Amino acid sequence: MRTLAHSLKAWLAFTLIAGLAFPLAVWLFGALFYPQKANGSLVLRDGQAVGSRLLAQKTTGDRYVHPRPSAGDYATTPSAASNAGWTDKALRQRLASLPHTPEDASQSASGLDPDITPESAAWQLQKVAKARGWSETSRKKAEEWIASNTQGGIISPPYVNVLQLNLAIDLIPDGK
């Protein structure tokens, strides 16, 4: 019985320390120094949130660069992966029917991969340029944006953020 009382009191004490004080201290740090990141890295345009920099969003038309395919169709609560193994018939058919770069055909682990490779971005730009009636100069401008905004490459593969790329694309006028 004494051990039971010790256990109950210890559980309560550790719940307050590790379950309340510790997260609150981390939260306070985030709220003070990284409020935007701590709250989901929301991206604003004209004062309106158009998504999170870190979460892929479903994209249908040719006017935007698409994120990687999502097993959960870009659902966020929850998101999903295909979990298909290498001998899975459906997976093999899906990959065979999409002759893009490897990242364009395969579904990501999170179902919300916010990034694509620079190769995929450049490849997709052709279709975007056509849909928007861009001149060669405008397409070059978008390509330059990709080149100067590619992240990673030191301990990870290089990657480009899709939402930021699409916002940059929107800044280039149609038909020019």
Partner 1 sequence: MNSYDITLLILLPTLLIACTPFAGSWLVRVLEGEIPSGLRWLGKIERSLYRLIGVAPEAEMTWKEYAVALLCFNAVGCGLLAVMLMCQSVLPLNPQGLAGLTPALAINTAVSFTTNTNWQAYSGENTLSYFSQMLGLGVQNFLSAATGIAVLAALARGLRNAGAEALGNFWADLTQATLYVLIPLSFVLALVLVSQGVVMSFDGYAHVRTLEGAPQVIPLGPAASQVAIKQIGTNGGGFFGVNSAHPFENPTPLSHFLQLFAILLLPAACVDAFGRMTKAHKHAWALLLVMGCLLATAVGLSLYAETHPPAAMGEIARALPMEGKETRHGVVASVVWAQATTAASSGSTNAAHGSLSPLSGGLATLNMLLGEIVFGGVGSGLYGMVMMVVLTVFLAGLMVGRTPEYLGKKIESREVCLAAVAVLLPCGLVLAGCVASFCTAAGGAAIGSHGPHAVTEVLYAWASLVNNNGSAIGSLDAGAPFYLWAGSFAMIAGRFLVIVPVLMFAGGMAGKRHAAASSGTFPTDGALFSALLAGMILIIAALTYFPALTIGPVLEHLLAAAGRTF
**C-beta of residue 70 within 8 angstroms of C-beta of residue 91:** no
Q: Which stretch binds partner 1 (CB under 8 A): 37-45, 129-137, 138-146?
A: 37-45
Q: Which stretch binds partner 1 (CB under 8 A): 52-60, 126-134, 136-144?
A: 52-60
| Residue among 137 and 171 whose Cβ is closer to partner 1 | 171
Distances in Å between the alpha carbon of 164 and those of 51, 90, 157? Answer: 10, 32, 18
Q: Does 50 bind partner 1 (CB under 8 A)?
A: yes
Q: Which stretch binds partner 1 (CB under 8 A): 23-31, 124-132, 133-141, 142-150?
A: 23-31
Those residues whose C-beta lies under 8 Å from the C-beta of residue 167, and which sit 6 or more positions away, are 43, 45, 50
Binding mask 65-94 for partner 1 (x = CB under 8 A): ---x-----x-xxxxxxxxxxxxxx-xx--
Q: Does 38 bind partner 1 (CB under 8 A)?
A: yes
Q: Does 110 bind partner 1 (CB under 8 A)?
A: yes
Q: Does 61 bind partner 1 (CB under 8 A)?
A: yes
Those residues whose C-beta lies under 8 Å from the C-beta of residue 157, and which sit 6 or more positions away, are 117
Strand extents, DSSP E, 53-158 = 115-116
Q: Does 168 bind partner 1 (CB under 8 A)?
A: no
| Cβ atoms < 10 Å from Cβ of 56 | 26
Q: Does 173 bind partner 1 (CB under 8 A)?
A: no
Q: Tell me the C-alpha distance between 172 and 138, whole Å.
A: 7
Q: Does 157 bind partner 1 (CB under 8 A)?
A: yes
